[in-house]
Copies of this chain bind each other. A is one copy, B any other.
Amino acid sequence: MKKNIILTAIGLTIAMFSASAQQNLFVSQDIQSAVVNPDNTVTFKFIAPKAHKVQIAGDFAEVVAENPIGGMVGTGLIDMEEKDGVWEHTTKPLPSELYSYMFVVDGIATIDPNNPHVYRDFGTINNVFLVGNGQADYYAVKDVPHGTLSARWYHSDGIGIERRMNVYTPYGYENNKSKYPVLYLLHGSGGDEDEWVVFGRTCQIIDNLIAQGKAEPMIVVMPNGHADMQAAPGESPLGYYKPFHFRDPENKFVKNFMEIVNFIDSNYRTIKKKNGRAVAGLSMGGGHTVNISKMYRNTFDYIGVFSAGLFGRGGEPDAAIEAQFTQQKNDGVKLYWIGCGKDDFVYQSCENLRKELDKVGLSYTYYENEGGHVWKNWRIYLSIFAPKLFK
């Protein structure tokens, strides 16, 4: 047994850099990790006979430690136990969720070599696994009809560059003549047009909600919210660069947003009026949503602000902004939905937005839950928000 383990440990190194060589494809570690067990415990394994300490860094550490907050990451490490060179740990039963993790081997963070499912968030790569039988069933690919996801480029006259967006069209779109409502879904400051697709599980959430009869068939448009960024890292002429924060001091994304709406209205069979359009976003994208929805009058009937609010100037809107909110209230919206976690570092901004809407009398729906500025919450918000649209 031990001999086998050492051999597979050598196999590991060989397999790990077989890279683009299918010639080496058949050398692999003979273990599975992370394995979600029937009782929703999860077993991690890692072969490292020479390591002194192997830990798991994951966003479920607090759940394991029965921290009532849950969902926050970066605050806990779980020690794995070694036997015959194989490090192992099985968690307590975990709530249904899409989780992220890495291993930390003698202080060096590394991905789990037996789990090739990794997602990028800004500049970091993490392994993922999904515990089902609950909320995360919305995030899984199920045996339901699937929509189409397209990466499309458009030319921005206002910004002067080619730009990329992701467009989800629901199952059946290609084979009928109906017109569809559109949800514009905006990402956060560390994100790009891929963020809602990957960590956000948008295609799966919308596929599953439609299949269950809970949401109307809709087009979902996920543009890139950084005005000067053509496309996600690795997908633009900048090549494979280390992600950095794009800044938009001139607010060009918001100012040119109607280019995107017009492109979609020209290229897809859309309902080209207010009651056929929703806009929602998380964090920076929530700020974009607040601004876009009041700036472009009578364009969006459904507004979703996730983990965001009134940023800047201590959250106090000036008279001009207040006048815009009053105008928006007078024009009328069908739904102004706000979601925020109790521990979110933008909680105060969100509260400021609610106060301002109260002040001008623009009624909204407020959803507050546990946790902070994390994908766990944004996926929940989308799965609550989408069923309320276009009805």
Contact = CB atoms under 8 A, between A and B. Distances in A.
Interface of A: 9, 12-25, 28, 32, 48, 50-51, 57-59, 72-74, 100-102, 104-111, 113-118, 120-126, 128-130, 132, 140-143, 145-146, 148-153, 162, 164, 171, 174-175, 188-190, 199, 231, 233-237, 239-240, 242-243, 267, 283, 345, 372-376
A233 B116 contact: yes
A22 B143 contact: no
A311 to B, nearest CB: 14
Given A22-B190, A174-B267, 14 more contacts: A17-B101, A18-B121, A19-B100, A22-B189, A22-B283, A22-B373, A32-B242, A114-B242, A116-B243, A118-B125, A149-B151, A150-B150, A150-B151, A153-B171
Contact of A122 (B12, B14, B22, B126): B22
A342 to B, nearest CB: 14
A13 B124 contact: no
A244 to B, nearest CB: 10
Copy total for this chain: 2
Contacts of A104: 13, 16-17
A74 B19 contact: yes
27 contacts: A9-B107, A13-B107, A16-B126, A17-B73, A19-B73, A19-B102, A20-B59, A21-B374, A22-B283, A24-B74, A50-B107, A108-B108, A109-B110, A110-B110, A110-B111, A115-B242, A116-B124, A118-B118, A118-B125, A128-B240, A129-B240, A141-B237, A146-B162, A148-B150, A148-B152, A148-B153, A175-B267
A240 B115 contact: yes
A224 to B, nearest CB: 13
Contacts of A102: 16-17, 19
A111 B111 contact: yes
Contacts of A199: 20
A-B pairs, 8 with minimum CB distance: A17-B57, A16-B109, A19-B100, A110-B110, A20-B375, A150-B150, A117-B240, A146-B153
A141 B9 CA distance: 37
A57 B25 contact: no
User: Which among A17, A50, A100 has the highest number of chain B CB atoms within 10 Å?
Assistant: A17
B153 A150 contact: no
B143 A237 contact: yes
Contacts of A122: 22, 25, 116
Contacts of A120: 116, 118
A86 to B, nearest CB: 13
A187 to B, nearest CB: 10
A132 B72 CA distance: 41
A233 B17 contact: no
Nearest to A23: B373
A28 B116 contact: no
Given A106-B106, A113-B109, A189-B22, A239 B17 contact: no
A16 B124 contact: yes
A106 B50 contact: yes
Contacts of A242: 32, 114-116
Contacts of A24: 73-74
Contacts of A233: 116-117
B130 A111 contact: no
Given A19-B101, A116-B123, A152-B148, A190 B25 contact: yes
A17 B150 contact: no
User: Which among A21, A146, A234, A372 has the highest number of chain B CB atoms within 10 Å?
Assistant: A21
A21 B148 contact: no
A39 to B, nearest CB: 17
